[in-house]
Amino acid sequence: MTEQLTIARIGHRGDGIADTNTGPVYVPYALPGETVTVEPVKGHPDRRHLIRVDTPSHEREAPICKHFGICGGCAMQHWSLAEYHLWKRGLVAEALAHANLIAPVDTLIDAHGQGRRRAVFHARRGGKDVLEVGFTAPRAHHVIAIDNCPVLSKGLDGAIEAAWAVAEILKPTDKPLDIHVTATDSGIDMDVRGSGPLTSQRTGVLARLVEKHKLARLTRHGELVAQGSQPTLKVGKAHVPLPAGAFLQATAEGEAVLAKLVLQHVGKAKRVADLFAGIGTFALRLAENANVSAADSEASAIKALERAAGATAGLKRVEVQTRDLFRRPLMANELKVFDAVVFDPPRQGAEAQVRELAKSKVPVVVAVSCDATTFARDARVLVDGGYKVVSVTPVDQFRYSYHVELVAKFEK
């Protein structure tokens, strides 16, 4: 049974929201002011499928991808960038308000640049034993097969074809695959996960794909299958040898924008701690002007950072340690030697570490976050500990999604 709704606003995950007598109803791909015809979603009384837009918004735009609305990779291609940017900035402002924080929120910086430099393709057997390689459907587990993706950078040209080739070779294993691809300065780095143990013959067939598809490296669960060249990434003055499946900021432009803001906020600090440092996105740049102590739980990333720092002339001292900052945060007495602390945690935030920072007397704290809600929670702890929020800058390197990055400066 269909019904007609009027969309009032956009929710936190990019869905249009209609206010009804029974409460808010969520309609993906609908925009504020639009009248739409919808049908129920089985098992979800507050959700609807969009059938058609009866009265379109003047803010509606044609999607750039033929897979939009079927593939779950993007949520917002149908909205004008200007309105979309205002909405993303609003997500940060709302999260701060919800935490009872008053803070200046800058205009959002668009850091899409040349596009995403990393992606995860899923390979699954579909109906009638047909192989599907692509991204999952919206709020579903089945895979939508794709042959191109316009939000990916030029550095990932050929990655989809290579992923299909890997999936075909591993199809007899009858395992669901996740194929991680990263654009590096040396070419595409690919890590295949989910295949289970492989025969030497099948591993050999996989290895031949490196030359055929001009991959820099192919690994399986981080174990080397074949390598054409060492995948590296230039970070500041350093060239970092990347571990398999290494975490990078989503776009090269995003990394540059975040790093610029971090360096600006740290200023002339002489000794800096970089927590959740990864491969050294900030640490290696900070070390051009300050002594840096870097920590992260991922041993391979810390090792790559250490190797890069040791091989780069002109850097000040870089100390590294592998440390689980969720279970073993740097304590307040360990933090007292630093002029500034930078932390860039995963999506769940850094609550344990922030509680120690709040007890400390570090004069400047710089937070980088990919989740406005957990950032606001952590910011509340810092403010309650005597810090002041000096600035918050939203950064969009996940264009067409509801994810927003931010950099914030705190002073005590």
Nearest Cα residue to 216 out of 205, 204, 232, 203: 232
Q: How far is CA 68 from CA 7, 15, 164, 283, in A?
A: 20, 14, 20, 38
- Rounded CA gap, 310 and 129, in Å? 51
Of 361, 396, 362, 367, the closest CA to residue 380 belongs to: 367
Check residue 263 and give left, alpha or beta (phi > 0: left; psi -120 to 50: alpha): alpha
Q: Both tokens of residue 216?
A: 């820099």
Q: Which of 71, 74, 149, 370 is catalytic?
A: 370
**Residue whose pair of structure tokens reads 């398999």 in the numeric block:** 244
Q: 3-state SS of 229-287?
A: CCCEEEECCEEEECCCCCCCCCCHHHHHHHHHHHHHHHCCCCEEEEECCCCCCCHHHHC
Number of H helices, E strands in the chain: 9, 23
Quickly count: other Cβ atoms within 10 Å of residue 143's Cβ.
Answer: 22
3-class secondary structure, 150: coil
Q: What are the residues whose beta carbons fall under 8 Å from the beta carbon of 172, sequence distance 6 or more?
A: none
Burial of 70 (0-12, 13-18, 19+ CB in 10 A): middle
Q: Clarify whether 149 is annotated catalytic.
A: no
How far is 97 from 84, CA to CA, in rounded Å?
Answer: 20
Catalytic residues: 370
